[in-house]
Amino acid sequence: MRFRRTESSVIAAILCFVVLLGGQSLTDASVGEFGRTDTGQLLGGATSSYLTGIKRFVAAGLWNRMHPIFHNYYEGVGVSSQLHMLPTIAMVQMLDPQLVQPYYIGAWMLARNDRLEEAITMAEGGIYVNPDAGILYVNLAQLKYLDAHDLDGAVEVGEKVLEREMWWTDFTEEYNAYPALRAIFVAAERDDLVQVVDVKLALLDIEAESGLGSDSQLHEHDHDDDGVSDH
């Protein structure tokens, strides 16, 4: 039953997106020469912002309906067995490119099903539109390390997380990300980078003990049920 509701949501989202595109086209056509004036540009910009907001709303609605299914409805079934979710994931990425979770979950699903080239393309695409999202770099580094067996490439991607300030969805995401990077740096015998990660983990531990990181419960994501955190 839940799957049917998700399927209906996908169909509704497609229809909504078609309407949005049609609305944008009609707005552009109605502005015409007027669109070249300051007032016309203001109207076009306001309409574009409005439509962008609606697209993000639809994306959030789709994702909020789908994401619990990964963990609840298909309990005991790894993400790798849920390829029927990929079209919805692709739609969410199209509607709201700044929503990071669909990129790393979608890429992980593809990699687990021997579609590594597509997985890396999706992971890199997520970074292209979200250049400060730390979890997407960690995701790509893990794909290169665990699946492509490209340790040098994984280290290169992982280093970027340490080079500048990254954005994280929440404390838990950041707390779980650095051990994954540490494993890559250890495998590459990059003691210098391991030390940097250890310092960051120590600071996060202090933050957690002080209560600053208590906004979300610390946990690890194991989507493929192999006993190892996936991201």
Cα maximum dimension of the chain: 63
pTM: 0.66
CATH code of 100-231, in short, is 1.25.40.10
Domain boundaries, the chain: 1-99, 100-231
Q: What pLDDT was estimated at residue 16?
A: 54
Task: Using 70 as the pLDDT threshold, list the residues of the chain that sit under it.
Answer: 1-84, 212-231
Which of 163, 99, 108, 107 is closest to 133 using CA atoms?
99
Give the separation between CA 46 and CA 58, rounded to whole angstroms.
19
DSSP structure class, residue 228: S
Residue 189 is predicted with a pLDDT of 98
**Digit-coded pLDDT (tens) for 85-94:** 787 888 887 8
Tell me how far CA of residue 62 lies from CA of 104, 154, 210, in angstroms.
Answer: 16, 32, 36
Rounding to the nearest 10 degrees, give the CA dihedral for residues 35, 41, 44, 45: 170
